[in-house]
Structure 1
Amino acid sequence: MVIDNHTYWLVSAYLGHDHQGPLPGTILEKTVAESTRQKTNLIIGCDANAHHTTWGCTDLNNRGESLFDYILTTNLVVSYEGSEPTFISKNRLEVLDLTLVSLNLSNKILNWRVSKENSFSDQRYIQFTLIKESPKPIQFGNYTKTDWPKYRATMNDFDLIKLELSDPPLCALELEQRVDELTAVINKAMETACFLTAVRGKKKPYWWAAELETLRKDCRRVFNRAKKTR
């Protein structure tokens, strides 16, 4: 799917109970790796059948720990809010379904929720809002790079100004009106002659900090060493 020239991969994954070996499995791992290589936005709806407190379960099991360890080695984050069960059967309530998204999408996934709508299944619908467009960059005037000759030429363009400054104003109201007109012309001249610079926004969510980045790297390094040395 392409939105505003940005490619999104929407993936539905099922990690069955009979899966042998570490989660999530070769196919999904290759998909995530290829998405990272192509720098696409990735959203995974995953029926994980795995328990971990990170996504709202009340306990942990080996499948959950295996999947969580894998997530730490990727650029994926878990979108989840609250502890509403996603799986409901006659004698069991549990959170088994995950929404995994690329880190750069984590602040674009809003209002994640388990739907109250009847799905006619033991699995419940998961809904969320994906912000289509990023906020437009804020621009400010870099006055150190102003084209002053262009500014003066604009100010000297009396056809643009259309102000009869040689005639004294008749009253305070007319004086204020001329001040407003002159101010508008000055601002217009600055917009024409001043170099605009966009404020560079943070690529990561507002809550991401240097300490979290360090901890994430340390965790990945320790996990990779443990995986190699067993």
Structure 2
Amino acid sequence: MGCDANAHHVAWGSSDNNTRGESLLEFVVKENLEIFNVGNAPTFVTRVREAVLDITFGSPNVGFLVRDWKVSGEVSMSDHKIIRFCLGGLMEKKSSFRNPRRTNWEGYRRDLKAKLSGASVRTVARHPLVLERAVEERGGIMVEAFESNCPISVPRDFTDTPWWATRLENLRVGVSRLFNKAKREGTWEEYKMNLTARKSAGPSAEALDHSAGALRRRRRLRGCTEPWLETGCQ
């Protein structure tokens, strides 16, 4: 979520704190949200004033996906700067589909013949309107016969997150503790340094090993029906 909070707090790069900023920070902590702002580049600029007023925040579940958060130098035609960041690790959700290779063509021909025998227009169509109706009716019959004999396929969606290894979990816990400490004591430098380290941490060797192991297990559960993917099923 991004917003023009009009609130000051050093937690997101402001040079000072105000009452609105303190209230917003309390809300962020209470709702277990994370602030994604990096650095202290002003997001609001006029001829007489510069400030960090625009904040990007969200839940911990998406926090690790935010990459390269920055205040852009592009012309925005506004007092507020353009904020850019990337989301990594998200996969596009695929919709269901029908694979013609899995069609029962014998059943298709049987159903098509039965349905065509009951079509309303069986003689030669001489009038354009009759011809148009016949084409539409037969097209619908063909589609219906195809869908009856071609099952719907749903893409496999593996929801596990093998890249979330022990090292990343320790970083997350450590940053959360430093956040609470910084809020109590008003010192934010250590929190900012550790937050940057967490955001820059990539998948570890442990995560990659876990990912490869999970992939091998899934292939074995499929009975090694795809031998070109893996040699030697144990």
TM-score normalised according to structure 2 size: 0.43
User: Whose helix fraction is larger, Structure 1's or Structure 2's?
Assistant: 2
TM-score normalised according to structure 1 size: 0.43
User: Whose strand fraction is larger, Structure 1's or Structure 2's?
Assistant: 1
Greater relative CO, 1 or 2 (CA 8 Å, sep 6+): 1
